């Protein structure tokens, strides 16, 4: 069955440090992959998406993600964390039809 695994339910970084949030998907079907961010008591906002164009995708707020087919991964990175990046991040996978599968989420904490 199709699944999305986010390694680490919580990640803590210092302000200015590298952010790395991991996502692995399970499907042999060429995917569409998404990263969403959710702030407390709000809906999900799209950060970036992979749709089989460039393997390195740039999104909003300085985030980017690299699609690696050989590793079935789509990890999210940001070179320098900001306090405002503290939120929950969800990786999602769409393979066609109507259904998008979401990971369980990773909560990012940013320490001053």
Partner 1 sequence: DTGVSQDPRHKITKRGQNVTFRCDPISEHNRLYWYRQTLGQGPEFLTYFQNEAQLEKSRLLSDRFSAERPKGSFSTLEIQRTEQGDSAMYLCASSLAIGGSGNEQFFGPGTRLTVL
C-alpha–C-alpha distance, residues 39 and 59, integer Å: 17
The least distance separating partner 1 from the CB of residue 46, rounded to whole angstroms, comes to: 7
Question: Is residue 49 a contact point for partner 1 (CB under 8 A)?
Answer: yes
Token digits of residue 35: 């990263």
Query: Which one among 51, 55, 61, 80 touches partner 1, defined by CB under 8 A?
Result: 51
Determine how many CB atoms are found less than 10 A away from the CB of residue 42: 10
C-alpha–C-alpha distance, residues 9 and 107, integer Å: 6
Query: Which one among 1, 28, 41, 84 touches partner 1, defined by CB under 8 A?
Result: 41
Interacting residues toward partner 1 by CB under 8 A: 4, 9, 32, 34, 36, 41-46, 49-51, 90, 92, 94, 98-100, 102-105
């Amino acid at each position: 069955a199709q699944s999305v695994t986010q390694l680490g339910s919580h990640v803590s970084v210092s302000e200015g440090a590298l952010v790395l949030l991991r996502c692995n998907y399970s499907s042999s079907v060429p995917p569409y992959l998404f990263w969403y961010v959710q702030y407390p008591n709000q809906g999900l906002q799209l950060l970036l998406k992979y749709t089989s164009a460039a393997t390195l995708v740039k999104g909003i707020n300085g985030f980017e993600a690299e699609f690696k087919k050989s590793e079935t991964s789509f990890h999210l990175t940001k070179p320098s964390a900001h306090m405002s990046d503290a939120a929950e991040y969800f990786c999602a996978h769409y393979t066609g039809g109507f259904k998008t599968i979401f990971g369980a989420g990773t909560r990012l904490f940013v320490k001053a």
